[in-house]
């Protein structure tokens, strides 16, 4: 009885607090948190000193040593555990790919030739995907969702989404995705040279269209290589308002793309870059960031002969800004394994802080997400309390916050696990 009474009191207390705080600050007590004694993980590595972090209104409201706050805050004693930003996977299809072999659940690309650059993959994003809870309980809070190759040279527009499961779209237009190399060559009729020619023509057409929309619409303009919507989608690229994310692997192909970027005055991001290390200085001096999975080291094709595990180290040493995806082909269903890819990059010579930046602050800066990625006062509270070093395969999240909300560590997988765990325990008793 006493226990029950206590519980009632506690519950009542919570309700009162919720009402009170709710009225006074537009906040519920459930959304006020104080993480004590955490080691901050940043692009400087894992801090040795202990810090407290307060969360309020979805943001980091204060940060410092031994914070004293009102009793409304739920206190989480991290006891020296590391706290990182929610991790960011820069190439995923979470929410647009549910079961890969079930076509109706996959909206990652279209065969429709009419929509290439104008494909906004985020229009198909499903915040109720089972892939979302599974990955956020493992520490991912944001992903760049990218379209797969369709029938044109341009795959479409990539967007940044968070994994809150609610209001998810963070950056609707983050990058225009285009694939050169083998994939582009195939689209262009069998030569990578033709693919580059197609790219030049598309940019020239988009510029021409931008200046002559009314005469085009009146039927007084030459034919263009792309549909009206595709040209419209490319205008921000021609104005350097939207980066062109170009997938390219071979060293020589990378150089051609850098030349194209200079000549056509578009801002570039390079994806893939298996042989990036061979032209690292050129990428660095062009100030072009790169996006790749550092786990690859095999020559899967003749354009990736130079793939190596220390590509990230060599690019970093040259001064290139790096973003990661991974791990391997599982970067949607296991988007969280980007941290295993990052850990292996560190294991192969990349500085620890640079690897953390590649899965937090770098994509934030490059894709225009100023409130995410750093653990500082006023920033959005996307935080993960880890059992240990977040790049270690043995570490797991203890608490996950997305936009200041505490995420229950439950997914369909954990439900299945619990169901069969108890059945095995029962069976063992027999």
Quick check: 394 binds another protein (CB under 8 A)?
yes
Cβ at position 244, least distance to another protein in Å: 27
Cβ at position 33, least distance to another protein in Å: 21
Among 91, 110, 141, 344, binds another protein (CB under 8 A): 344
Distance separating alpha carbons of residues 77 and 399, to the nearest angstrom: 11
Quick check: 58 binds another protein (CB under 8 A)?
no
User: Which tokens go with 304?
Assistant: 């990736």
Q: How many other CB atoms are found less than 10 A from the CB of residue 113? A: 12
Among 31, 52, 98, 374, binds another protein (CB under 8 A): 98
Total count of residues recorded for the chain:
430
Quick check: 103 binds another protein (CB under 8 A)?
no
Among 236, 306, 349, 353, binds another protein (CB under 8 A): 306
Quick check: 408 binds another protein (CB under 8 A)?
no
Task: Confirm if 361 and 375 have CB atoms less than 8 A apart.
Answer: no
Quick check: 347 binds another protein (CB under 8 A)?
yes
Q: What are phi and psi of 38, to 5 degrees?
A: -105, 150
Candidates 16-24, 190-198, 281-289, 419-427; binding stretch for another protein (CB under 8 A): 419-427
Quick check: 79 binds another protein (CB under 8 A)?
no
Cβ at position 418, least distance to another protein in Å: 8
Gyration radius of the chain's alpha carbons: 24
Residue 114, class by beta-carbon neighbours within 10 Å (0-12 exposed, 13-18 middle, 19+ buried)? middle
List, as one string, the DSSP characters of 174-239.
Answer: EEEEEE-HHHHHHHTTS-HHHHHHHHHHHHHHHHHHHH-HHHHHTT-S---SS-HHHHHHHHHHHT
- For tokens 């085009």, name the residue: 216
Quick check: 391 binds another protein (CB under 8 A)?
yes
Cβ at position 224, least distance to another protein in Å: 35
Cβ at position 427, least distance to another protein in Å: 4
Among 80, 190, 319, 328, binds another protein (CB under 8 A): 328
Residue 29: which of 19, 18, 41 has the closest Cα?
18
User: Which tokens go with 65?
Assistant: 């040593």
The residues of the shown chain that bind another protein, judged by CB under 8 A, are: 97-102, 131, 134, 278, 295-302, 305-308, 310, 327-328, 330, 332-334, 337, 340, 343-344, 346-347, 387, 391-396, 413-414, 416-418, 420-421, 424-425, 427-428
């Amino acid at each position: 009885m006493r226990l029950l009474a206590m519980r009632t009191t506690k519950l009542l207390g919570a309700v009162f607090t919720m009402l009170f705080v709710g009225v006074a600050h537009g906040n519920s007590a459930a959304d006020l948190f104080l993480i004590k004694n955490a080691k901050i993980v940043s692009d400087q590595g894992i801090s040795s000193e202990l810090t407290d972090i307060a969360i309020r209104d979805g943001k980091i409201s204060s940060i410092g040593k031994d914070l004293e706050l009102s009793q409304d805050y739920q206190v989480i004693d991290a006891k020296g555990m590391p706290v990182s930003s929610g991790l960011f996977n820069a190439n995923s299809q979470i929410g647009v790919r549910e079961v890969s072999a079930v076509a109706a659940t996959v909206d990652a690309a279209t065969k429709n030739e009419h929509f290439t650059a104008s494909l906004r993959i985020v229009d198909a994003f499903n915040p109720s995907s089972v892939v979302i809870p599974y990955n956020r309980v493992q520490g991912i809070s944001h992903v760049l969702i990218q379209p797969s190759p369709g029938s044109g040279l341009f795959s479409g527009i990539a967007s940044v989404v968070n994994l809150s499961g609610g209001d998810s779209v963070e950056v609707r237009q983050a990058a225009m995705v285009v694939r050169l190399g083998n994939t582009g060559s195939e689209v262009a009729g069998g030569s990578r040279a033709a693919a580059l020619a197609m790219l030049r023509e598309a940019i020239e057409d988009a510029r021409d269209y931008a200046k002559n929309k009314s005469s085009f619409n009146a039927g007084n303009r030459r034919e263009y290589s792309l549909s009206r919507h595709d040209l419209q989608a490319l205008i921000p690229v021609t104005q350097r308002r939207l980066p062109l994310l170009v997938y390219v692997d071979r060293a020589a192909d990378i150089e051609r793309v850098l030349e194209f970027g200079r000549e056509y005055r578009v801002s570039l991001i390079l994806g893939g870059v298996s042989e990036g290390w061979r032209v690292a200085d050129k990428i660095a001096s062009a100030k072009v960031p790169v996006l790749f999975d550092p786990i690859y080291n095999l020559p899967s094709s003749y354009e990736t002969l130079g793939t190596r595990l220390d590509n990230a180290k060599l690019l970093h040493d040259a001064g290139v800004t790096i973003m990661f995806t991974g791990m391997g082909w599982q970067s949607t269903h296991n988007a969280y394994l980007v941290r295993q890819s990052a850990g292996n990059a560190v294991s192969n010579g990349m500085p620890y802080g640079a690897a953390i930046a590649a899965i937090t602050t770098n994509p934030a800066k490059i894709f225009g997400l100023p409130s995410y990625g750093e653990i500082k006062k006023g920033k959005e509270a996307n935080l993960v309390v880890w059992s240990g070093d977040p790049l270690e395969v043995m570490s797991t999240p203890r608490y996950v916050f997305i936009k200041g909300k505490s995420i229950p560590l439950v997914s369909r997988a954990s439900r299945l696990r619990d169901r069969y765990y108890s059945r095995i325990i029962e069976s063992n008793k027999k």
